[in-house]
A and B are shown apart, each in its own frame.
Chain A
Amino acid sequence: MGYLRDFKSQFKLKNFINYIVIALLTALFGTLSCVGVLEMSTQVLFEKFAYTLIMAVSLSLVVGFLGELSLGHAAFMSIGAYLGGYFQTYVIGDLNGNMPLLGIIIAMIVGGLAAGVFGFIIGLPALKLKGDYLAIVTLAFGEIVKTVFTNSETFGAATGLKTYRYSMDTLFIIGFVALLVILAVIQNLIKSRYGREITAVRDNEIAAKSMGVNVTRIKIFVFTLSAVFAGVAGAIFSNSQFNFKSSTFDYNYSIDLLVMVVLGGMGSLNGSMIAAIVITVLKTELTFILPGNLAALQNVAFALILILVVVFNNSPKFKPIREKAFGWARGLTEKLWSKIPHKNGDKGESDKGDHADWTEIPSKIKMDALLSTDMLPPDIVGAPEKTDKGEKQ
């Protein structure tokens, strides 16, 4: 009973709005699709949404919450797609023919587990390496996986793997259900004790370690979990294709995913998902509209946006503008939020409960300010964290 009461008092529409939106859209478009009103191109677009959104949230877990850069996330997806798709089509082909729903679920489990094993393996170097070096290992891993699949005769080598194509009418519904489950897992994880440990590692690894956080375990755990989700996305992808090649999952695809996470805002799942939808729509639509070489214009635009967003968010020159803009935006959202009637008098303010609100995890700067013990103002050259750079063993 106590749990139920807690749940009631902590229930805020704001925290569940993404589930509700996704569930409603899935129900609406799912019904339309089953009735047969939905166009084929829309169905394909929704399939794309499903696996791209799963990839975006799973990468967001590593980049946004753990704070490690992964440049080979597409490799986990390719492992899921190849192994899941292969298992579904060639190992349990008969079962899959009779019951495709069971087939795709098994494919997702197999793909997810296979990718998870590799995520665990990639998580191991993460113990010794960090930052740039770890990013390179993930990049190298992505290239290795691509090369191995391209050369493997079992998986169709250069011509690609032929896999089972799931019914177009219902595949995206399954994809969105998988997305909902994954989203629930991630959001609850982030809110839990482990989530706080993950963000503590991101904000200051040494401080987290000294507080008793097992950094090793947390890093491996996040890498593995994120790889499992990417593997599930891969299995959905393989079901949306008749035939696919390993070159689909190249470095550029990993970068596209990274762009989604960065544009959406690091540490914001909803932001990543919105950015993923916007980018997928733009990529799909612009390819039709722009002729020939101008199609590259979309990539130019993405690259520019990426650079501008990062520079705007980090440059000291833009600090006054940034604060003004963010203050204005926050004021506006709070005003809008207070217009919506709430059951339990929630004014959109953060409550004083002891659970961490996953949308408001303190940024790195705030945490550093909280933890720093230095007496110098941060802009003075030679602030404490910089002075020990020249030290050697």
Chain B
Amino acid sequence: MIDFLTMLINGLSLGGVYALIALGYTMVYGIAKMLNFAHGDIIMVGGYAIVVFFNLTGMPVVSILAAVAICIALGIAIEKVAYKPLRQASPLAVLITAIGVSYLLQSFAQMFFGAGGQTIVIENLGSLTIGELKIKWATMITLIVAVAIMVSLTIFINKSKVGKAMLAVSEDKEAAQLMGINVNTIITITFAIGSALAAVAGACYIMKTPNVSPTLGSLPGIKAFTAAVIGGIGSIPGAMLGGILLGMIEIICNSVPALSGYTVAIEFGLLILILLVRPTGILGKQKREKV
């Protein structure tokens, strides 16, 4: 029972991180209709920003906030320079550019910080003990932060004017434009929110595994992307569901010795399986193609 509870909380916490990253993917896909392959690498940039600011100031909260600010600026800059000129281009061209941006960020990080990892311990928070249950504080904080962000994001999207505008743009860009919504501003805001979420996810991630390297974001990024696709890309509840599902699967697989080496294979196998059964993911909308 205790083992099960520990696994459940760990799974939810890891799933929360994946969900935060997946939200960035899914929002950008819903609104700009593109796969932002560089999203995972924004996590990495956030990680390095935390390292740099933490070494400068020694204050964890300040460095995390600084990282969020840097990631927002980076997200907007990438959108303006690399993606905006390609609004009318084929999806293939946009995808290739996104891959190029991802590669660029990784290579820059490697150039400035080296290919090896840097260890950073923001704060040793210890563990929370309730009876026999022992959970790391880092895990609990991650879980709480992830849930708080998901709840507030859902409220923001559904209640605020900007959020509703985002929904409108994802539904029909041209009609939204006719209703007086500035589509370009909405896309920029989407990238900013996605990048901020990535920075927070990066902070949670390095609380768990205190090691920052140029490829930090690539595997979590791909996995979160998998989560977004499993849940149905473009759907915000889908991203949360997919993220938590993936986190649970990963924790369960890692706890079984025979499977632990194959965790990645199992996760991606599940992705392929789900796509074959439901090509638009669990909560994705089915679209009929017209000529």
A interface residues (Cβ-Cβ under 8 A, vs B): 63, 67, 69, 71, 125, 128-129, 131-133, 135-137, 139-141, 143-144, 147-148, 150-151, 206-207, 251-252, 255, 258-259, 262, 292-294, 296-297, 299-300, 302-304, 306-307, 310-311, 313-318, 364, 381-382, 386-393
Contacts and interface: CB of A to CB of B under 8 A. Distances in A.
A131 B112 CA distance: 35
Contacts of A262: 96
Contacts of A299: 103, 106-107, 110
Contacts of A381: 174, 177
Contacts of B287: 391-393
A292 B269 CA distance: 38
Interface in B110-149: 110-115
Contacts of B264: 143-144, 147
Contacts of B97: 306-307, 310-311
B89 interface: yes
Contacts of B291: 206-207
Contact of A67 (B92, B106, B222): B92
B271 A314 contact: no
Contacts of B101: 303, 307
Nearest to A392: B285
Given A147-B265, A307-B97, A392-B285, A141 B272 contact: yes
A10 to B, nearest CB: 32
Q: Is the interface of A mostly helix, strand, loop or mixed?
A: helix
A296 B95 contact: no
A390 to B, nearest CB: 4
A135 B110 CA distance: 26
Nearest to A304: B104
Nearest to A311: B85
27 contacts: A125-B276, A135-B35, A136-B35, A136-B275, A140-B268, A140-B269, A140-B272, A144-B269, A147-B261, A147-B262, A147-B265, A255-B99, A296-B110, A296-B111, A296-B115, A300-B104, A303-B107, A307-B100, A311-B82, A311-B86, A313-B93, A314-B86, A314-B93, A318-B85, A364-B90, A390-B172, A391-B287
B77 interface: no
B288 A137 contact: no
A310 B89 CA distance: 9
Contacts of B275: 125, 128-129, 133, 136-137
Which 10 residue pairs of A and B lie closest in terms of their CB atoms, listed nearest first?
A: A315-B85, A299-B107, A303-B104, A140-B268, A390-B172, A314-B89, A296-B110, A306-B100, A303-B103, A147-B265
Contact of A258 (B90, B99, B269, B271): B99
Contacts of A391: 287-288, 290
A86 B110 CA distance: 35
Contacts of A151: 261-262
Given A293-B112, A296-B110, A386-B174, 5 more contacts: A69-B92, A132-B35, A140-B269, A296-B107, A299-B107
B225 A136 contact: yes
Contacts of A297: 107, 111
B288 A393 contact: yes
B93 A136 contact: no
Given A136-B271, A310-B86, A315-B86, A390 B171 contact: yes
B85 A316 contact: yes
B208 interface: no
Contacts of B286: 392-393
Contacts of B225: 136
B174 A387 contact: yes
B95 A306 contact: no
Given A147-B264, A251-B218, A310-B93, A133 B279 contact: yes
Nearest to A68: B92
B175 interface: yes
A390 B177 CA distance: 14
A143 B290 contact: no
Contact of B85 (A141, A206, A259, A314): A314
Nearest to B286: A393
Contacts of B82: 307, 311
Given A293-B114, A313-B93, A364-B90, A136 B226 contact: yes
B211 to A, nearest CB: 18
B156 interface: no
Nearest to A207: B291
A381 B179 CA distance: 13
B156 to A, nearest CB: 22
A143 B222 contact: yes
Contact of B88 (A63, A255, A302, A316): A316
Interface in B183-201: none
Interface in B154-190: 171-175, 177
B91 interface: yes
A297 B287 CA distance: 43
A147 B259 CA distance: 11
A390 B175 contact: yes
